[in-house]
Amino acid sequence: LNRWNEEINSIILSRHYKPRKKKAEQINAISSQTEDITFVRLTSENGQDITSIGEFHTEDDEVKIKQKYSMYYIYIISRFLVNLLSGLETHGKFFPFLREYFHHLECEDRSYILSRKTWLPSEY
């Protein structure tokens, strides 16, 4: 997980994470008001301690982006492999077609792919 975070998630964050100034101001306001009455003790994905409400909310925003785009890129790679399999089956005239098991990986609508929370085939 640490390696994934360093090699993949760092790229995802640099491409897709845009901290919003208004939200940062809200987090700072909430953090300053609750810092004396709260205790935060968590560990981030890279192993660093999270000890404040502000760090917690920032980490939460980053994790949402990491999860969303990790699934998106895994979906894109899987879809490529299914298309490759389909081409090989068509060219070789293989039967039965294995691609039929992966029909849920045929979508090309980026917004739909990014909005999905799960990819269980039973939902189709």
Q: CA dist 38 to 34, 35, 77, 94, 100, Å?
A: 6, 6, 43, 62, 52
> Taking all residues of the chain, what is their mean pLDDT, rounded to a whole number?
87
Q: CA dist 48 to 15, 31, 53, 59, Å?
A: 22, 19, 15, 11
Site of tokens 């997980």 = 1
Confidence check: pLDDT of 124 > 70: no
- Predicted local distance difference test score (pLDDT) of residue 122: 60
- Over the stretch 6-55, which tens digit does the pLDDT of each residue have? 999 999 999 999 988 998 898 889 888 888 888 889 988 888 899 888 88
Among residues 20, 24, 12, 17, the alpha carbon closest in space to that of 55 is found at 24
Distance CA 71, CA 80 (A): 14
User: Considering the entire predicted model, what is its pTM?
Assistant: 0.77
